[in-house]
Structure 1
Amino acid sequence: MAAPSESSEAMIFYDIAMATPYAPNPWKSRLALNFKDIKYSTTWVHLPDIAQVRRTLGVPACRKFSDGTDFYTLPILVDPNTKSRIGDSFDIAIYLQKTYPDSGAGDLFPPQKLEFAFNNEFASLVPLSERNDIEYVDYSKFNTYVDAAFTAHVSLVVHNLPFHPATAEATKAEFVRRAGVTSWDDFQIKGEQRQKFKESFHTMLGDLGKLFLRDISGPFLLGKKASYADLIVGGWLRMMREALPKQEWEEISGWHGGIYGRLHDGLEKYAEVK
């Protein structure tokens, strides 16, 4: 299918309403939409309302908690031009590539080896997607491992997440309930515990960073050409930049020769919030 014309109806992108956008999976999709130069607008949904919005749109939950109950989250993309509704960031990327293959900067999934794996030693605060893709398998596995790797270290940022003032208390209460802790302050980590997380994070980013050293001509895995693999990592870097203390973000973005600072900055051209 050809790229949308100027007269094409704008897509609707659903993201979580926060004081500033931070959620990594919506960021992956925003970066992909902008990479493809797709016309869209953002509908902001307060976190307590996400389940109802997904039900109203007829988009089922794509993840489950360990007890089998549905985990409702965003993003969702609605394309009125094809009457499609997609409720998972990786599925959104596939949809954009297959439906609008030549739009914007081109191919989101160019062939490349994405040899990275991660074994989690920390408990996960949120469930991860379980995928069994038959297309773009290397990218799917990479997405799963990167999600696991960053989620394992999300305790570094949870206490500083920029919740929307209108729903901050309700959102914090839901986080406390899901995690089975007694209060919001239980999410604050400092001292030796924080240092342990940072050391583990440094090691993980070093392992992941080896992929970025294969082509040093640019900030991306393929040098000067961005792909969805870069957007996967970039979505998580957006969260880290927004929720880490400024000094820690500056420290982390400079680790491993500044790989991640350059990647974050290199994706800035696809980071417009529309």
Structure 2
Amino acid sequence: MSRYHTSRSSSTTPVIILYDTPGHSPQPWAPNIWRIRFILNYKRLRYRTQWVEFQDIEATLRSIGAPPSSVRSDGRPVYTLPVIVDPTRNSSRPEIISGPSNIAEYMETFYPARPVFPEGSRAVQSLFVHYIQEVFAKPLLPIMVPLSAKGLPPRSQPPFSHSHAADALPPGPHRERAWQLVKEQFDFLSSILDKNVQDGDGVCVMGHSVSYADFALCSVLLWIENMAPHDGWARIREWNGGRWVRLREKCREYMDVY
């Protein structure tokens, strides 16, 4: 699915480091991290991936001084990926940023070439991405979280399952009902994107060119394709007249992995 490359720079040239967590296969899979990988590739920024298994994430991020991505109600910090370390602007004091929204804002501010937020669209795209996370993707969780746990390296499976309460839905009517709830979200979003047909391509959220919103949406598609290729992606690629395959193809050139 993705093209793998060695770093686009010499060993002495500072590059952005993207912290990611591997699955069983060598493919990236986590949607929030794919969103950032898309932006790095789209902006043609030099970077390399630092792979961290799930159970090592907190210790690794603490060791590099990454800020927590959130704080629990009892005050304990939560450390999650993605995180980037950017030594390219100041190698003696690299910037360390946690969380996909913070990273996206940082890269757009300090690397404005090839913007992922076309002028005047930052607020509406941020709202769209919030919808993708909090509404559109929610019905996927009972299906995809257990499948994601099974798709991790063996050492990472128990801590991930414990952290995410990953109880798999067995094949049968309950799983089919779960997929029907997912399809309702896809159908609704498809009907909204159809409004772009008159003055856009009907695929990209902003009309004709991919943007941050498309990368957030395509990241969910890649999550499904990687962790549920037969039970999930095989269904979704047929939905809504092949719209989601067309979006994936629009984003294909930004799927490199360094």
Q: TM-score if structure 1 supplies the norm length?
A: 0.78
1:89 positional shift: 1.0
Deviation at 1:69, TM superposition (A): 4.2
1:195 aligns with 2:176: yes
Distance 1:160 1:60 in 2: 29
Higher helix fraction (1 or 2): 2
Does 1:78 pair with 2:73?
no
The equivalent residue for 1:38 is: 45
Q: How many residues of Structure 1 are paired with residues of Structure 2 in the alignment?
A: 237
Separation in structure 2 between the aligned mates of residue 172 and residue 32 of structure 1, nearest angstrom = 29
Write the letter of the residue equivalent to 2:153.
Answer: H
> 2: distance between equivalents of 1:74 and 1:15?
7
Q: Do the aligned residues in 2 keep the contact of 1:155 with 1:189 (CA within 8 Å)?
A: no
Match of 1:174 among 156, 159, 176: 159
Q: CA deviation at 1:173?
A: 2.1
CA contact (8 A) 2:218 2:248 kept: yes
Give the aligned residue type for 1:71: V
Task: Give the letter aligned to residue 108 of structure 1.
Answer: V
SS at match of 2:137: helix
**Which of 54, 78, 97 is the matching residue for 2:108?**
97
RMSD over equivalenced CA pairs, Å = 2.4
One-letter amino acid of the structure 2 residue matched with residue 175 of structure 1: F
SS in 1 for 2:196: coil
Instruction: Tell me how far 1:64 sits from its aligned partner.
Output: 4.5
Which has the larger displacement, 29-38 or 223-232?
223-232
The code of the aligned residue for 2:145 comes to V
Could you list the per-position Cα deviations for residues 136-187 of structure 1 after superposition, in whole angstroms to 9, with x for gaps in the alignment? 332222222211221432222233322124x2xxx3322343345xxx6x32
Contact kept? 2:68, 2:79, Cα under 8 Å = yes
2:127 to 135, 138, 141: 141
Alignment of 1:123-142 (within 5 A): 136-142=122-128
Answering whether residue 230 of structure 2 is matched by residue 246 of structure 1, we say yes
Q: Confirm or deny: 8 A CA contact 2:82 2:100 kept in the other structure.
A: yes
- In structure 2, the CA distance between the partners of 1:65 and 1:22, relative to structure 1 (3 Å rule), is farther
Distance in 2 (CA, whole Å) between partners of 1:63 and 1:192 is 37
Give the Å deviation of 1:191.
1.3
Q: CA deviation at 1:247?
A: 5.0
Q: Quick check: 2:203–2:247 contact (8 Å CA) kept in 1? A: yes
In percent, how many aligned pairs have the same letter? 28
Answering whether residue 134 of structure 2 is matched by residue 153 of structure 1, we say no
Are the structure 2 counterparts of residues 262 and 81 from structure 1 closer, same or farther at C-alpha, using a change threshold of 3 Å?
Answer: same
Partner of 2:49, secondary structure, is: strand
Q: How does 1:212-231 map to 2 (within 5 A)?
A: 212-216=193-197, 217=201, 219-231=203-215
Question: 219, 227, 246: which one pairs with 1:235?
Answer: 219
C-alpha deviation, 1:188, in angstroms? 3.2
SS of the counterpart of 1:152? helix
- Structure 2: distance between partners of 1:159 and 1:224: 36
8 A contact 1:212–1:259 mirrored in 2: no
Report the equivalent of 2:4.
none
Q: Which has the larger displacement, 137-146 or 215-224?
A: 215-224
- Alignment partner, residue 253 of structure 2: 269
Query: How far, CA to CA, are the matches of 1:209 and 1:111 in structure 2?
Result: 24
Residue in structure 1 matched with residue 118 of structure 2 by the alignment: 110
Separation of aligned partners in 2, 1:67 and 1:84: 28
Q: Check conservation: 2:55, 2:160, Cα contact below 8 A.
A: no
Question: Which runs of no fewer than 5 residues in structure 2 stay unpaired?
Answer: 1-8
- TM-score, structure 2 length as denominator? 0.83
**Hey, what's the Cα distance between the residues in 2 that align with 1:112 and 1:207?**
25
Question: Equivalents in 2 of 1:172, 1:208: separation in Å?
Answer: 32
CA contact (8 A) 2:54 2:160 kept: no
